[in-house]
Chains A and B, each alone.
Chain A
């Protein structure tokens, strides 16, 4: 206990010390906080003594500690032995609010892109830009839609034209003998036992058939077209330069009711041929196939005058 007596004497000594030092420190802190320096002097002194005060012999260390309680020591003292003081609690509450705000802000900025934290005028600008963009895109969509309709239309037209062209090509091909044809018609068989049938008689038969509306004719495997000619002599007839022999077989597509009478008219083809001891048989059929073909030849000089 004798030690207790000298202690009170050195103890008051450190107290005044924090007093003046904050004043000088307060000068540096911030010009905006002059009150803190004066208040801090009393608070800093008030916060520490409760620790040292109650315990009797801890005062023995007091002479060594108080002289320079450095910032680091103060920090450590404030951190480690967790004391529940009024200051700590108040600061804790405020820091809780700070942490809450910080977390909310961080969350909201990372959450919903940049729009959430954007200012009003920025939002208005963004909205305007979006409106413009929407309008532009809408216009582009309309334009592209019109273009698409146009293209579809024209492709439809092109398709139609192509179909028509194909159809026409087929029709012309039948006339030119470049494609096979089938349909109702007749088959005329001329057996020439005497070998007296002349080429011009066959030509007459062809002319007669054409006059009666024959659309496709072939003779013994030779397609008869506009430029077909008969040559040679009886027994050695040539069609377009190809020799054909009896019996002569005409395969004709046309209306059978027209074709047959055309051959049988008095003084007509059949009678003329029968006069030469040839026999002529005419068979009607609902399905005649004319499949002898000619190569498509490009005329050397004649050109289409239409486009």
Chain B
């Protein structure tokens, strides 16, 4: 419950406060958000499986974000930023879908 509240508060704060994102971080934000979403879905699935560990969640969340940003950064340096970020989004999207399927199986038993 607290976790859901945290998400809601974050969205509201982002919409209301309208913080300025430094230009250096800006290109990596979308990918980082998708990576974080993947981690959250993985954590939700783990919770439903009864194997949730906060430490693992924190580490996987942060490492997902960092690795995704790193890949995009590297891609930009190599000149294939657009393609690489597309690839990252595709991979993360597939993982999100499979996690969502597992969650669905738990919640709806279908």
Contact = CB atoms under 8 A, between A and B. Distances in A.
Q: Name the residue in B48, B51, B60, B102 with the highest tally of chain A Cβ atoms < 10 Å from its Cβ.
A: B51
Given A96-B9, A101-B33, A108-B21, A119 B50 contact: no
Interface SS, B side = helix
Q: Which secondary structure dominates where chain A touches chain B?
A: helix
Contacts, number: 193
B22 to A, nearest CB: 11
A74 B44 CA distance: 11
A74 B48 contact: yes
A76 to B, nearest CB: 10
A102 B11 contact: yes
B2 interface: yes
A88 B58 CA distance: 11
A18 B61 contact: no
B76 A101 contact: no
Contact size class for B?
A: 35 or more
Interface string A79-121: 1111110111111111111111111110111000000110111
Nearest to B44: A75
A44 interface: yes
B95 to A, nearest CB: 7
B10 A95 contact: yes
Given A98-B40, A105-B33, A108-B26, 16 more contacts: A33-B60, A36-B51, A40-B46, A71-B48, A74-B47, A87-B57, A89-B2, A90-B58, A91-B2, A91-B43, A92-B5, A94-B6, A95-B3, A100-B10, A103-B13, A120-B76
Interface of A: 18, 21-22, 25-26, 28-30, 33, 35-37, 39-44, 47, 69-72, 74-75, 78-84, 86-105, 107-109, 116-117, 119-122
